[in-house]
Each structure stands twice: as C-alpha cells, then as structure tokens.
C-alpha cells in the first residue's frame, strides 16, 4: 500500500511535445502551445503550480497569418532612451527572426504572472525541420508512451520523427 498523499513526482513529470508549424495559423498554434506550457491538458493542473510540459516547434518559417495581418502586424521594441522606438513589420520579422514571432504570440497567450518567463523557457523554436539533440527527448506517440531511438550521427528532423511514428 502506498503511503504517498497527494500528487507524486510522477504526476509532475514533464513530457516533450513536438509541433510542426508548417501551414498552421499563428494564433491557433500559439494558443495550443500555451495550454501545453501551462499544463492545462493534465488532470493535476493548478494555476499556481508550474506543471506544464516542454514544446519544440519546427518549421517556424512556414507559419501563416490570416487576413491582412501580414501587412498590418508590427512588432515594437524600445530601449528606454528617448526616440528609440523601433518598429519591425511582420514580413521582415519572419525573414529575420521567426523565433521571435512565435515566442511573442505564445507570450501573449500565457497569463501575465511570475510563472510566465519560466514557462517560456520551456519553448524551443527552430526555423526549419532540424531540431538537433533536443529531438531525442520528444515523445514518440501518445498511445504507448515510448521514446524515439536516438542516433547521434543522424540529424533529428520533423520527417525523422514522422518516420518513427509510423514504425
């Protein structure tokens, strides 16, 4: 008989999720990533406890926006010096730094509290399919919960993960 009362360490274990952002709408993608980072998909969810999972996003360059947002969306940054407001249009930001676009959208979907920065640290965004060593942490499938076999000599890409899922 177990003597543990309440949630054990196994209940708070973090899982790695892989998301392919190809042809996905930015807002809906950011919303679902934020839910996983917060841990709302788990039965032990508590707003004051950081019980979310890790998320790896690949193909960030291929994310799309709807309507006229590609022309109207502007990213602003300020260095706190007078006259130092910098505005970058969406198209230029996607060409220069697609990581910032997705991270900014997910940040807007997370609650504005002390856990926000810690949750954003668990978000990894890659502009193309190659995700490096982190790909070996991704859970292979939801059904059996087994991990992918890691070969350090072959690059881990989104296509390689799809191949593992079909095995």
Tens-place pLDDT, residues 41-85:
888 898 888 999 999 998 999 999 999 999 999 999 999 999 999
Instruction: Name the pTM for this structure.
Output: 0.79
Q: Where are the domains of the chain?
A: 16-166
Task: Compute the distance between CA of residue 108 and CA of residue 106 in angstroms, rounded to an integer.
Answer: 5
Q: Say which CATH superfamily domain 16-166 falls into.
A: Ribosomal protein L13 (3.90.1180.10)
Rounded-to-integer distance, Cα 117 and Cα 165, Å: 32
Residue 15 has pLDDT above 70, yes or no: yes
């Amino acid at each position: 008989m177990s003597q543990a009362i309440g949630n054990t360490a196994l209940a708070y274990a973090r899982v790695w999720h892989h998301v392919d952002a190809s042809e996905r709408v930015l807002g809906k993608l950011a919303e679902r990533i934020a839910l996983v980072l917060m841990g709302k998909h788990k039965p032990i969810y508590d707003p004051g406890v950081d019980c979310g999972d890790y998320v790896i996003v690949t193909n960030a360059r291929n994310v799309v926006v709807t309507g006229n947002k590609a022309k109207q969306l502007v990213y602003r940054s300020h260095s706190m010096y007078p006259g130092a407001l910098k505005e970058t249009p969406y198209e230029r930001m996607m060409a220069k730094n697609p990581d910032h676009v997705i991270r900014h959208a997910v940040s807007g979907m997370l609650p504005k509290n002390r856990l926000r920065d810690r949750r954003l640290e668990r978000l990894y965004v890659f502009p193309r399919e190659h995700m490096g060593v982190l790909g070996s942490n991704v859970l292979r499938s939801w059904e059996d919960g087994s991990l992918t076999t890691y070969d350090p000599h072959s690059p881990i890409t989104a296509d390689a993960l799809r191949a593992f899922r079909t095995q």
